[in-house]
Amino acid sequence: MNSFVKKGALIGLAAAAVLLSSCMSVNHLEMYDFAGSRLAVDMRTPPEPRLNVEYNIAMSSNSALINALSVMTNLAKANQAHRAREVMREALMDVNVPEIIRTESFSACAAALSADQVQSRREADYVLALQIDEWGIEARSSFSPVSLHIRMLASLYPVGGGDLAWRREVTVDQPAEPDMFGIGEIVGNMVTATVLYNMTEEDLARGFTNLASQTARRVSRELENDLDYARFGR
């Protein structure tokens, strides 16, 4: 492939990415009056959580002895990370992360629109549709913090028909903090998979509940800020 073709392909990919991004966001809020209206929420069944917990083995020098010791140490830590991943998976199943996200997002969007929350779409004037496309725990290396990843699409539309009023995709990666898991001061104040290795499933579940709540607050702020900007330009 010559440079001209390569350049054209890259430009095409960039344009496609911009187009996809622009198609994802919609703002027709000026067409509707939300003050005092009734808002319901609908969340699609989310996918299973993914756990992307890795531990890469690296050579430390040209010394065969030091390398052998380094590999043995790293293998032990990699095994810890693997076992921590399995314990975290079990603990995560005890925490209803999507429901925490749903509750916080619904409350924030209703407040931003000055709308009243109702329990079903039969009572509602508008529906906030939430779709979690990706979520789970990530720790991409031994030096990376454990974080909760959420990618969600939020849409707002009138119940009686009409144009889609608003749509926004939100992606949040919230790092875990020591106090979420009841951990004292640690090196770098960073929670890694190996730090969580010896924790019980119950302690991990409590920590993940705290992490999910903090993540939900961040998602809610993103949605609320976008609604404010879409309506008032601020």
Per-residue pLDDT tens over the stretch 99-157: 999 999 999 999 999 999 999 999 999 999 999 999 999 987 766 789 999 999 999 99
Please determine, for residue 189, whether its predicted confidence score (pLDDT) is greater than 70. yes
Q: How much is the pTM?
A: 0.78
Q: Which two tokens mark 111? A: 């407040």
7-11, 16-20, 124-128, 140-144 — which is least confidently predicted?
16-20
CATH class of 27-232: alpha beta
Compute the distance between CA of residue 95 and CA of residue 201 in angstroms, rounded to an integer: 11
CB neighbours of 230 closer than 8 A, spacing ≥ 6?
A: 27, 29, 166
The answer to whether the beta carbons of residues 159 and 167 sit under 8 Å apart is no
pLDDT given at position 39: 98
pLDDT given at position 125: 97
pLDDT given at position 76: 57
